[in-house]
């Protein structure tokens, strides 16, 4: 109305306003309501407006004459007006033109309603202000006009208001079906008004039961004309639609009829129509604009897809399907569309267009085309399943498998049933892996299936497809379960569901399978995890994110938005029963199926489903709690206010602002006490209830910001369930358990006691969300490192941890069953875990190592087992076990032969275990436990090196000699240069060169890194032992050249800083690095998951390998026997293989205006990397890179060695194997393969010497040995 009013205010005489839209959307009602403003009519039109309603029964000339006569009769006429004017159309037009052209009447408004022909406009062109109401925009061709589109109809608020009025009730008392009826009507005023009239006849029944509401809803969905209202409405609409469609040219009409195949409410994409109509997408736009002008379709610009998207009203589609087409014609249209698909993708449905439609609705078209034989070909094809998941999502794929199961299985064929069951099991169990890899653009269902432990149709199909794709890198996975704990466990039960929109917060309801989800569009969604049905609760602004949902003990829940508005909603039992048939699979709506779906015919919901709304001017409500059997709601604000309201929204208690900021609130003592957090002072402020009001009682300094450089955000503050006088406070950095006393007279809280329950131990990691289990025994905390940690609530003890980057958490106590459910949100993913103490896996990762061999040989695995032992496995057999140690084992390592293991315990005991002899010997006792443990293979015997304390090394020699090396600093890494010399690097940046002669370690050189106060995090020695890279905590690294001084006798080794404080602008911390075997590249891992590739020629960044989302923990290069520069990057989420040669593909050579041919290829990396170290040319004769002789020997041996392996009499060219592998995806040209890992907390990979096997262990004792597929 406001838009129309604004246009009416701007229109000038001789001007036009076009009110355009499909008939029945309330255009005339809008005008009538607007012109009820008498002041507006007087000011703008001098109280003069005329309304002409055109009809369709008469011929054009007869209709013009009739309406001219009508207008003539209703205008004031002078006494000199001749009667003869009434007999001729020409004289009417002449007189009316003169009348409206006069100064007195030129501001009059002429309303031309229901104009269907251009001749009507021409006949009534009188020079006054003209408002044209039409479904056909072309009637104003050649005229200048302002346009108002009318495709929205009634808002939901208006519809429900009308329903409530005729039923003599309130909007809040209307059932959920009333909202759905509005959605089915698309806000169409004509249909809503007709329904309202019938509702009035049955008001008693409609107010008493929802059964009749469901009846009307079913009629609307099925367009069932057995109901008189629906019948009358459809009859009216039929005449209108027929007239509009029959005016189309034959070819355009043919195109339009084909739109009948589309589902109601979908956004129709130009790419889709280009296939349907077999034309260019630009030609589609031209055809659709003609239909849009006649209100037979609508369009909207989608900025994400950078194209127009189209929609056809449900009633028009229904009219096309039911009145203009026979069932056989409609089936033929669907079949024709499928044939167009087949032609376009050459019978490979995995190559359907990525048009935001085809993968979502291909099943719909096959079903209506009755091409039932195509279903098993489609839905049992892993290529198609991957493409569908990638484009339409996992949830849509699983629903399709259920919806079309009878077609896929050919009505229950036993073999096909087994296959689809296998597929469904696979998709459900691998939901997290599939959703995570889809989100990163690295989805590969074949690799995921090759990792799948359950043997059946899926693994067989994956192996068959992998065999056909020799150009792709795949890995088989040989799994072996070892019993490393006191009891056997398969790990936590994890269920995952992919939602269609980002989730901001989550909460269980009283039904564990129905949860409440908040999003960034101001909606709360009740979601059924089994059926995927949902109900949306609206009321918040669409730009407002839901930040918190709190469910009451009765039938209520409240939600708080980012803007600080609080709303209470009713969650009645009817809403738990979302469908009367539990086996019914409700189809996903277009909004759920299509990315960035745009509503075409209805504004986004403007209704308010809440029963109570609270907002405070200039303040934000930060948190709230239900009180006294949910009769009241208490909330705190960012200005230090605490208010209590009743269910009607009346304030019962108010504690005024006190220039502070309250962030959280909770209640204890049976709601007698309210506790808030004052974030400005880190204090807990307590209020006491006195009759009906709360007043200040006391406060306690929780000291949660103590010793922190920046303020720590509150994550959770609530009472401990089943404990009246205990609180849990979780910040970004710690969890605190607070107990207090309560006086017998119930007037004083005292003796507050603060006990730490958890804290962040890694730099840069913070807690992100938390929840207390409803038995009060356990605390669940999510962190930014990607873990969900479960702590004891009444003790400092980490029980177990799950893998998940959750941002919101809630729990459900299955008391009778003896376990808890945990749910969390991770982007669009809903994650659930089943937790019970008996079968939970301890949080600490077991220590392990592996002695890796070449292809075809057996690896030896050493793993910490219960109780405090080391068990050795080879193949699937246990071959040895150590004696029980004195405490938990924290580190272990194989020697260079794989026959001995050294391990360190928490009590600092260092033990050597001989596998062949099965002897266990304690060789050292350290002052404190250490994670630094190093084998040195020296001519005088093997050495084991540990940190004795922060400043000294302790060394054991094979002859059982133990000694101390003093003043080494806190060593973080050690590198062997040759049989006599080693480098040590301390945490403070001291690089020391040691000459070793048995027990005599003599320091012969020392260099201090220019690291200031920054710590040294990681170092890497190049394969040729000529370069040392040092990573620092200030986001920088230094590079050192290791050189031999030939001018001294004897020759000395020198370290020269050749690049000082290289800073490539990293905003994230450096975690690890590794040189390629030819020293051409340095790979640097970052804390955000990126891998930077640095060319040693000129020290420039060659590229950034982006895939991972978490810190890189390891980097491995393929050995020198492989010609390709293959890099393996590792973090806790995935393993990724890259070929850097694919980054250097030559680009197009172009001509130059200077006559010189120029190449745009990347720099040639074949130049020796040492050419740009920054060493002066005059020094090059005196300083020789260390181990140059060894390097020359290596190159010679490499050229002589063969890259061919032999197994079972068959030879295999390793270089050919790697060279033929192509990139996984276009946007990551170097990425060869990805393995997304199952939950494992040991981000350590053991790699075979020939780069063919990659071994990992998870916390459940499951060893995964990833081997190159078809390597032999």
Same domain, 62 and 122: yes
Residue 959's nearest CA partner among 947, 946, 941 is 941
By the 8 A CB rule, do 1005 and 982 touch?
no
Distance CA 861, CA 849 (A): 6
674 part of a folded domain:
no
pLDDT at 377: 95
CATH of the domain at 767: 2.130.10.10
Residues of the chain with pLDDT > 90: what percent?
Answer: 52
Distance CA 485, CA 842 (A): 9
pLDDT in tens, 15-41: 999 998 877 777 888 888 889 888 999
Residue 676's nearest CA partner among 664, 660, 688 is 664
Tell me the mean pLDDT in the region 1242-1260: 88
pLDDT in tens, 613-635: 999 999 999 999 999 989 999 99
891 part of a folded domain:
no
pLDDT in tens, 942-967: 999 999 888 899 999 987 889 999 99
- From the CB of residue 633, how many other CB atoms can be counted at a distance below 10 Å? 25
Give the largest Cα separation in the chain, rounded.
134
Residue with tokens 């929802």: 210
**For residue 1166, with 0-12 CB atoms within 10 Å meaning exposed, 13-18 middle and 19 or more buried, which class applies?**
exposed
What are 794's two structure tokens? Answer: 């009444």
CA 666 vs CA 103, 625, 680, 703: distances in Å: 72, 6, 18, 19
- From the CB of residue 200, how many other CB atoms can be counted at a distance below 10 Å? 14
What is the dihedral sign for C-alpha 898, 901, 902, 905? positive
Tell me the mean pLDDT in the region 1158-1177: 36
- From the CB of residue 876, how many other CB atoms can be counted at a distance below 10 Å? 11
Residue 42's nearest CA partner among 132, 107, 98 is 107
By the 8 A CB rule, do 628 and 653 touch?
no
Same domain, 223 and 241: no
- Count of structural domains, the chain: 4
Same domain, 249 and 377: yes
Name the more confident of 247 and 1147.
247
Tell me the mean pLDDT in the region 141-163: 85
132 part of a folded domain:
yes
Distance of CA 548 to the CA centre of its chain: 19
Tell me the mean pLDDT in the region 725-739: 93
DSSP 350: G
Alpha helices, DSSP H, located in 1129-1205: 1188-1200
By the 8 A CB rule, do 1081 and 1125 touch?
yes
894 part of a folded domain:
no
In this structure, what is the dihedral angle of CA atoms 1150, 1153, 1155, 1158, given to the nearest 10 degrees?
-30
Confidence of residue 499 (pLDDT cuts 50, 70, 90): confident
> Does 314 have pLDDT greater than 90?
no
Same domain, 176 and 140: no
pLDDT at 971: 94
CATH of the domain at 127: 3.40.50.300
Distance CA 380, CA 383 (A): 9
Same domain, 178 and 318: no
Name the more confident of 491 and 563.
563
By the 8 A CB rule, do 230 and 308 touch?
no
Reported as type and span, the H/E element at residue 769 is: strand 767-772
Residues of the chain with pLDDT > 70: what percent?
Answer: 89
857 part of a folded domain:
no
Tell me the mean pLDDT in the region 69-91: 70
Confidence of residue 294 (pLDDT cuts 50, 70, 90): confident
Indicate the SS3 state at residue 630: coil
Per DSSP bridges, beta strands 1016-1021 and 1070-1075 are unpaired
> Does 75 have pLDDT greater than 60?
yes
**For residue 1155, with 0-12 CB atoms within 10 Å meaning exposed, 13-18 middle and 19 or more buried, which class applies?**
exposed
Alpha helices, DSSP H, located in 280-392: 281-293, 314-319, 327-345, 358-368, 374-379, 382-392
Indicate the SS3 state at residue 101: helix
In this structure, what is the dihedral angle of CA atoms 360, 362, 368, 371, given to the nearest 10 degrees?
-150
Domain that holds residue 227: 156-231
Backbone angles phi, psi at 916, to 5 degrees: -70, -40
Distance CA 97, CA 122 (A): 12
pLDDT in tens, 754-800: 999 999 988 788 999 999 999 999 999 999 988 899 999 988 889 88
Kindly provide the b/e burial profile for residues 112-149, where b requires at least 16 CB atoms within 10 angstroms of the residue's own CB: bbbbbbbebbebbbbbbbbbbbbbbbebbeebebeebe
Distance CA 46, CA 106 (A): 10
What are 638's two structure tokens? Answer: 């960012």
> Does 322 have pLDDT greater than 80?
yes
pLDDT at 1050: 63
Name the more confident of 932 and 599.
932
Residue with tokens 């207090």: 740
Residue 714's nearest CA partner among 728, 698, 699 is 728
By the 8 A CB rule, do 734 and 759 touch?
yes
Same domain, 255 and 395: yes
Confidence of residue 483 (pLDDT cuts 50, 70, 90): low
CATH of the domain at 203: 1.10.8.430
DSSP 1157: -
Same domain, 390 and 530: no
Distance CA 919, CA 928 (A): 24
pLDDT in tens, 1080-1133: 999 999 999 999 999 888 788 889 999 998 899 999 999 999 999 999 999 988
What are 559's two structure tokens? Answer: 């939600």
By the 8 A CB rule, do 376 and 410 touch?
yes
Same domain, 166 and 141: no
SS3 content of the chain, % helix, strand, coil (to 5): 25, 35, 40
Q: How far apart are the first and last CA of the chain?
A: 74
Residue 403's nearest CA partner among 585, 276, 646, 261 is 585
Distance CA 793, CA 790 (A): 9
- By mean pLDDT, which of 586-600, 682-696, 931-945 is the weakest? 586-600
Same domain, 556 and 452: no
Same domain, 268 and 226: no
Distance CA 340, CA 272 (A): 10
Radius of gyration in angstroms for the set of CA atoms belonging to the chain, rounded to a whole number:
38
Greatest mean pLDDT among 112-126, 184-198, 1163-1177: 112-126
Q: Which residues contact 949 (CB under 8 A, 6 or more apart)?
A: 926, 927, 928
> Does 1193 have pLDDT greater than 50?
no
CA 1198 vs CA 13, 100, 1190, 1202, 1272: distances in Å: 91, 99, 12, 8, 22
Distance CA 946, CA 939 (A): 19
pLDDT at 1166: 33
Same domain, 227 and 240: no
Kindly provide the b/e burial profile for residues 504-527, where b requires at least 16 CB atoms within 10 angstroms of the residue's own CB: bbbbbbeeeebbbbbbbbbbbbbb
Reported as type and span, the H/E element at residue 580 is: none
pLDDT in tens, 652-694: 999 887 778 999 999 998 899 999 999 988 899 999 998 879 9
From 231, 251, 286, the end of a domain falls on 231
CA 52 vs CA 1, 133, 144, 236, 239: distances in Å: 20, 10, 21, 20, 21
- By mean pLDDT, which of 293-307, 588-602, 891-905 is the weakest? 588-602
668 part of a folded domain:
no
Name the more confident of 531 and 164.
164
Distance CA 696, CA 1236 (A): 54
- From the CB of residue 232, how many other CB atoms can be counted at a distance below 10 Å? 12
By the 8 A CB rule, do 368 and 334 touch?
yes
From 839, 859, 890, the end of a domain falls on 839
Strands (E), 128-243: 129-134, 145-149
pLDDT in tens, 985-1007: 999 999 999 999 888 999 999 99
949 part of a folded domain:
no
CA 733 vs CA 736, 767, 922: distances in Å: 10, 6, 39
Which residues is 984 bridged to in the sheet?
974, 992
pLDDT at 197: 87
Same domain, 764 and 821: yes
Distance CA 177, CA 762 (A): 51
Q: Which residues contact 198 (CB under 8 A, 6 or more apart)?
A: 228, 229
From 198, 231, 264, the end of a domain falls on 231
CATH of the domain at 436: 1.25.40.370
> Does 1200 have pLDDT greater than 90?
no
Residue 995's nearest CA partner among 1008, 982, 977 is 982
When the pLDDT of each residue in the chain is averaged and rounded to a whole number, the result is 86
Q: Residue 888, preceding bond cis, omega within 30 degrees?
A: no
Strands (E), 266-385: 298-302, 307-311
782 part of a folded domain:
yes
Q: Which residues contact 292 (CB under 8 A, 6 or more apart)?
A: 137, 298, 299, 310
């Amino acid at each position: 109305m406001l838009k129309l009013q604004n246009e009416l205010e701007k229109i000038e005489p001789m001007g036009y306003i076009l009110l355009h839209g499909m008939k029945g959307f309330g255009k005339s009602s809008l005008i009538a309501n607007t012109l009820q403003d008498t002041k507006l009519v007087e000011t703008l039109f001098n109280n003069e407006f005329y309304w002409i309603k055109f009809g369709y029964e008469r011929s054009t000339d007869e209709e013009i004459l009739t309406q001219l006569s009508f207008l003539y009769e209703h205008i004031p006429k002078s006494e000199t007006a001749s009667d003869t004017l009434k007999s001729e159309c020409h004289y009417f037009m002449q007189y009316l033109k003169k009348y409206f052209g006069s100064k007195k009447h030129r501001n009059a408004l002429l309303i031309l309603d229901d104009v269907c022909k251009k001749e009507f406009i021409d006949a009534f062109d009188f020079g006054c202000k003209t408002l044209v109401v039409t479904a056909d925009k072309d009637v104003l061709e050649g005229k200048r006009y302002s346009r108002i589109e009318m495709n929205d109809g009634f808002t939901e608020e208006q519809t429900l208001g009308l329903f409530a009025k005729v039923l003599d009730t309130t909007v809040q008392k209307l059932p959920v079906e009333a909202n759905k009826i509005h959605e089915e009507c698309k806000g169409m005023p004509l249909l809503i008004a007709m329904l309202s009239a019938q509702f009035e006849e049955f008001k008693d029944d409609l107010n008493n039961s929802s059964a009749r509401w469901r009846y009307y809803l079913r009629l609307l969905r099925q367009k069932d004309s057995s109901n008189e209202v629906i019948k009358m409405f459809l009859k009216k609409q039929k005449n209108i639609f027929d007239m509009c469609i029959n005016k189309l040219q034959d070819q355009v009409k043919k195109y339009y009829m084909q739109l009948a195949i589309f589902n109601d409410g979908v956004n129709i994409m130009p790419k889709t129509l280009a296939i349907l109509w077999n034309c260019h997408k630009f030609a589609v736009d031209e055809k659709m604009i003609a239909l849009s002008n006649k209100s037979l379709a609508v369009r909207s610009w989608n900025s994400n897809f950078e194209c127009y998207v189209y929609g056809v009203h449900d009633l028009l589609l229904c009219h096309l399907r039911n009145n203009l087409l026979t069932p056989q014609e409609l089936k033929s249209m669907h079949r024709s569309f499928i044939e167009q698909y087949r032609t376009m993708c050459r019978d490979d449905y995995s190559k359907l267009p990525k048009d935001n439609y085809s993968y979502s609705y291909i099943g719909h078209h096959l079903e209506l085309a009755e091409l039932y034989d195509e279903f098993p070909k489609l839905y049992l094809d892993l290529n198609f399943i991957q493409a569908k998941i990638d484009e339409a999502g996992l949830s849509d794929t699983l629903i399709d498998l259920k919806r079309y199961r009878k077609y896929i299985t050919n009505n229950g064929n036993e073999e096909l049933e087994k296959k689809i069951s296998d597929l469904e099991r696979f998709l459900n169990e691998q939901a997290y892996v599939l959703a995570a890899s889809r989100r990163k653009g690295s989805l590969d269902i074949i690799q995921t299936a090759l990792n799948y432990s359950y043997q059946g149709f899926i693994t067989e199909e994956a192996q068959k497809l992998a065999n056909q794709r020799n150009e792709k890198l795949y890995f088989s996975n040989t799994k072996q379960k070892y019993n490393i704990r006191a009891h056997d466990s398969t790990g936590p039960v994890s269920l995952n569901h992919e939602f269609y929109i980002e989730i901001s917060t989550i909460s269980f309801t009283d039904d564990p399978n129905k949860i409440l989800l908040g999003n960034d569009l101001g909606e709360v969604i009740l979601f059924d995890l089994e059926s995927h049905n949902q109900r949306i609760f609206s009321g918040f602004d669409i730009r407002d994110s839901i930040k918190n949902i709190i469910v009451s003990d009765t039938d209520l829940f409240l939600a708080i938005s980012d803007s600080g508005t609080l709303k209470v909603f009713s969650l009645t039992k009817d809403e738990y029963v979302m469908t009367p048939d539990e086996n019914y699979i409700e189809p996903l709506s277009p909004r759920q199926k299509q990315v960035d779906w745009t509503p075409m015919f209805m504004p986004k919901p403007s209704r308010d489903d809440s029963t109570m709304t609270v907002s405070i001017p200039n303040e934000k409500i930060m948190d709230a709690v239900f009180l006294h059997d949910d009769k009241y709601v208490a909330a705190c604000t960012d200005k230090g206010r605490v208010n209590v309201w009743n269910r009607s929204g009346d304030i019962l208690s108010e504690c005024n602002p006190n220039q502070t900021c309250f962030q959280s609130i909770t209640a204890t003592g049976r709601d007698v006490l309210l506790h808030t957090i004052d974030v400005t002072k880190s204090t807990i402020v307590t209020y006491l209830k006195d009759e009906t009001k709360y007043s200040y009682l006391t406060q306690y300094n929780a000291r949660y910001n103590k010793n922190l450089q920046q303020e720590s955000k509150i994550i959770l503050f609530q009472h401990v369930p089943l404990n009246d006088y205990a609180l849990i406070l979780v910040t970004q950095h710690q969890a605190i358990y607070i107990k207090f006393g309560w006086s017998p007279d119930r007037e004083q809280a005292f003796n507050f006691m603060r006990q730490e329950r958890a804290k962040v131990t890694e730099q840069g990691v913070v807690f992100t969300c938390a929840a207390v289990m409803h038995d009060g025994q356990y605390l669940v905390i999510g962190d930014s490192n990607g873990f969900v940690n479960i702590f004891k609530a009444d003790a400092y003890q980490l029980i177990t941890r799950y893998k998940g980057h959750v941002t919101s958490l809630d729990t459900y106590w299955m008391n009778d069953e003896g376990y808890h459910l945990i749910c969390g949100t991770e982007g669009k993913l809903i994650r659930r875990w089943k937790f019970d103490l008996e079968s939970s896996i301890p949080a600490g990762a077991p220590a392990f190592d592996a002695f890796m061999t070449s292809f075809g040989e057996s690896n030896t695995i050493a793993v910490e087992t219960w109780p405090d032992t080391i068990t050795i496995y080879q193949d699937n057999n246990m071959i040895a076990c150590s004696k029980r140690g004195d405490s938990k084992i924290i580190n272990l390592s194989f020697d260079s032969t794989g026959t001995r293991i050294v391990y360190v315990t928490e009590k600092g005991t260092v033990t050597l275990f001989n596998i062949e002899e099965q002897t266990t010997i304690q060789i050292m006792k350290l002052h404190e436990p250490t994670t630094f443990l190093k084998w040195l293979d020296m001519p005088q015997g093997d050495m084991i090196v540990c940190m004795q304390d922060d400043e000294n090394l302790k060394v054991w020699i094979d002859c059982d000699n133990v000694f101390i090396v003093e003043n080494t600093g806190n060593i973080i890494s050690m590198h062997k240069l040759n049989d006599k010399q080693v480098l040590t690097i301390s945490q403070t940046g001291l690089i020391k060169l040691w000459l070793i002669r048995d027990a005599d370690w003599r320091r012969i050189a020392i260099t201090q890194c220019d690291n200031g106060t920054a710590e040294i995090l990681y170092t890497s020695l190049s394969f040729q032992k000529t370069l040392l890279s040092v990573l620092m905590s200030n986001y920088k690294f230094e590079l050192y050249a290791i050189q031999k001084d030939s001018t001294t006798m004897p020759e000395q080794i020198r370290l020269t800083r050749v690049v000082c404080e290289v800073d490539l602008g990293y905003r994230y911390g450096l975690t690890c690095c590794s040189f390629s075997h030819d020293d051409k590249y340095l790979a640097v891992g970052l804390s955000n998951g990126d891998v930077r590739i640095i060319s040693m020629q000129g020290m420039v960044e060659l590229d950034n390998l982006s895939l991972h989302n978490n810190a890189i923990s390891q980097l491995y290069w393929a050995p020198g026997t492989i010609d390709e520069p293959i890099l393996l990057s590792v973090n806790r989420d995935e393993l990724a293989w890259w070929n850097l040669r694919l980054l250097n593909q030559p680009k197009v050579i172009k001509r130059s205006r200077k006559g010189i041919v120029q190449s745009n290829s990347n720099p040639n990396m074949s130049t020796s990397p040492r050419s740009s170290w920054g060493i002066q040319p005059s020094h090059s004769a005196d300083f020789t890179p260390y181990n140059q002789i060894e390097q020359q020997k290596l190159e010679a041996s490499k050229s002589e060695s063969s890259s061919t392996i032999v197994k079972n009499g068959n030879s295999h060219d390793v270089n050919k194997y790697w060279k033929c592998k192509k990139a996984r995806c276009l946007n990551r040209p170097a990425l060869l393969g990805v393995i997304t890992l199952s939950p494992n907390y040991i981000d350590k990979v053991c790699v075979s010497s020939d780069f063919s096997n990659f071994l990992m262990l998870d916390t459940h004792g499951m060893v995964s040995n990833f081997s190159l597929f078809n390597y032999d």
